[in-house]
């Protein structure tokens, strides 16, 4: 459903123009039953090339490693066995979404289904295919993490692969494409003025920064959601929702309510990436003392109560 929201009215045509052709997808393809099985057999027997294997959803290894919690309809064969076979035939393997990448929501709690990601179990290397797995082109599983993943992350990655312009150096330490994972959700956030002055929202409808009280992790989370917004203009923080770190392994069990910021002695435990605690405390104290009345007032309002002053910007 996320992919259908790609920034184009015809994403299949968009892919075709980039020489990417969809062999099969459970929701988007007409083939089913025997037609699909014939296609899968042709791939496994090397009669049909498979450039990119894209897997959505976590891999269910239960019960007791048998994989029989999830069988491919009409085959009696566990889905994990199909994925293992197909992965050895693919030039590239992509985990689409955080469930396929890390195990995600399905792997939460006691994990009775033994759910895992393709090459990770949360932040631990391994998963269904094992930490040493490499596709036929020598790459590990490409983790398009997100819950759901941004449609452009999928399309842009497939287009780069088709153009032969994607290499191991284009992956970050968790094997996410660097074009989005080298950014932070904080970059480009429309609430950044409030963050700079530590003018914080106190309830969900407020305009202020949601880091201090409402659980936002945008200053720590790797994604370009606010630089490359969804549907051209949307993101969680722009919609008034805190970033819950959905591109990161283990996001489903943060150890605290998603809408609350855990603190120690009044200081958020999860500080911005690369910022020492002492610096944050000093910066926050200085920023709050310098907060303009406009920013302080608007931070706890659901609309702009005080507009920016109109002043001459010339220096003479």
Per-residue pLDDT band at 7 (split at 50, 70, 90): confident
Write down the pLDDT at residue 123: 94
Write down the pLDDT at residue 189: 96
* 253 close to 98: Cβ distance less than 8 angstroms: no
For residue range 127-150, list pLDDT tens digits in order.
999 999 999 999 999 999 999 999
CATH number, span 183-301: 4.10.480.10
The candidate with the shortest Cα–Cα distance to 94, out of 169, 159, 165, 145, is 145
Write down the pLDDT at residue 280: 83
Per-residue pLDDT band at 307 (split at 50, 70, 90): very high
Write down the pLDDT at residue 9: 73
Give CA–CA dist 226/253, Å, rounded: 24
Q: Report, as an integer, the average pLDDT of 277-302.
A: 90
Write down the pLDDT at residue 315: 73
Q: pTM of the entire structure?
A: 0.93
For residue range 178-190, list pLDDT tens digits in order.
999 999 999 999 9
Write down the pLDDT at residue 3: 82
Burial 248-281, CB ≥16 within 10 A → b, else e: bbbbbebeeebeebeeeeeebebbbeeeeeeebe
Q: Report, as an integer, the average pLDDT of 168-172.
A: 97
Residue 32 has pLDDT above 90, yes or no: no
Instruction: Tally Cβ neighbours within 10 Å of residue 138.
Output: 10
Per-residue pLDDT band at 87 (split at 50, 70, 90): very high
In the chain, the percentage of residues whose pLDDT exceeds 90 is: 78
**Residue 41: Cβ-neighbour burial (10 angstroms; 0-12, 13-18, 19+):** exposed
**Residue 181: Cβ-neighbour burial (10 angstroms; 0-12, 13-18, 19+):** buried
Q: Report, as an integer, the average pLDDT of 44-54.
A: 96
Higher pLDDT, 14 or 238: 238
Residue 214 has pLDDT above 90, yes or no: yes
* 216 close to 242: Cβ distance less than 8 angstroms: yes
Domain ranges, ordered by start, for the chain? 3-181, 183-301
* 115 close to 159: Cβ distance less than 8 angstroms: no
Q: Report, as an integer, the average pLDDT of 229-239.
A: 90
Q: Report, as an integer, the average pLDDT of 57-75.
A: 96
**Of 112-116, 133-137, 238-242, 268-272, minimum mean pLDDT range:** 268-272
Write down the pLDDT at residue 137: 97
Per-residue pLDDT band at 215 (split at 50, 70, 90): very high
Residue 6 has pLDDT above 80, yes or no: no
**Peptide bond before residue 171 is cis, with ω within 30 degrees of 0:** no
Residue 211 has pLDDT above 90, yes or no: yes
Q: Please state the CATH superfamily assignment of the domain spanning residues 3-181 in this structure.
A: NADH:ubiquinone oxidoreductase-like, 20kDa subunit (3.40.50.700)
Residue 14 has pLDDT above 90, yes or no: no
Write down the pLDDT at residue 312: 83
**Of 35-44, 165-174, 284-293, minimum mean pLDDT range:** 284-293
Write down the pLDDT at residue 86: 98
DSSP, residue by residue, 216-229: --TTT-B--TTTS-
Write down the pLDDT at residue 179: 96
Per-chain mean pLDDT for the chain: 93
């Amino acid at each position: 459903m996320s992919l259908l929201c790609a920034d184009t009215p015809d994403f299949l045509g968009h892919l075709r123009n980039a020489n990417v052709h969809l062999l099969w997808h459970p929701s988007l393809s007409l083939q089913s039953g025997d037609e699909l099985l014939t296609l899968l057999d042709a791939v496994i027997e090397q009669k049909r090339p498979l450039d990119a294997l894209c897997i959505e959803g976590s891999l269910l290894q239960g019960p007791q490693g048998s994989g029989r919690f999830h069988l491919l309809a009409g085959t009696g064969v566990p889905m994990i066995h199909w994925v293992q076979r197909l992965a050895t035939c693919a030039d590239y393997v992509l985990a689409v979404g955080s469930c396929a990448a890390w195990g995600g929501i399905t792997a939460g709690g006691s994990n009775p289904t033994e759910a895992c990601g393709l090459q990770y179990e949360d932040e631990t290397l391994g998963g269904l295919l094992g930490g040493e797995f490499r596709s036929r082109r020598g790459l590990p599983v490409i983790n398009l993490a997100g819950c759901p993943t941004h449609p452009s992350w999928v399309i842009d990655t497939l287009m780069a692969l088709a153009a032969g312009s994607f290499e191991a150096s284009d992956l970050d330490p968790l094997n996410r494409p660097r074009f989005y994972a080298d950014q932070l959700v904080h970059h480009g956030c429309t609430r950044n003025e409030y963050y700079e002055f530590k003018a914080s929202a106190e309830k969900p409808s407020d305009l202020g920064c949601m880091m201090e009280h409402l659980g936002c992790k945008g200053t720590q989370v790797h994604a370009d959601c606010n630089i490359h917004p969804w549907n051209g203009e949307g993101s969680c923080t722009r919609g008034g929702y805190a970033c819950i770190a959905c591109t990161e392994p283990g996001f489903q069990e943060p150890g605290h309510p998603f809408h609350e910021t855990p603190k120690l002695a009044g200081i958020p435990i999860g500080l911005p990436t690369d910022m020492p605690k002492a610096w944050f405390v000093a910066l926050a104290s200085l920023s709050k003392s310098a907060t303009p009345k406009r920013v302080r007032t608007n931070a706890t309002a659901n609309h702009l109560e005080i507009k920016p002053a109109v002043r001459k910007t010339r220096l003479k």
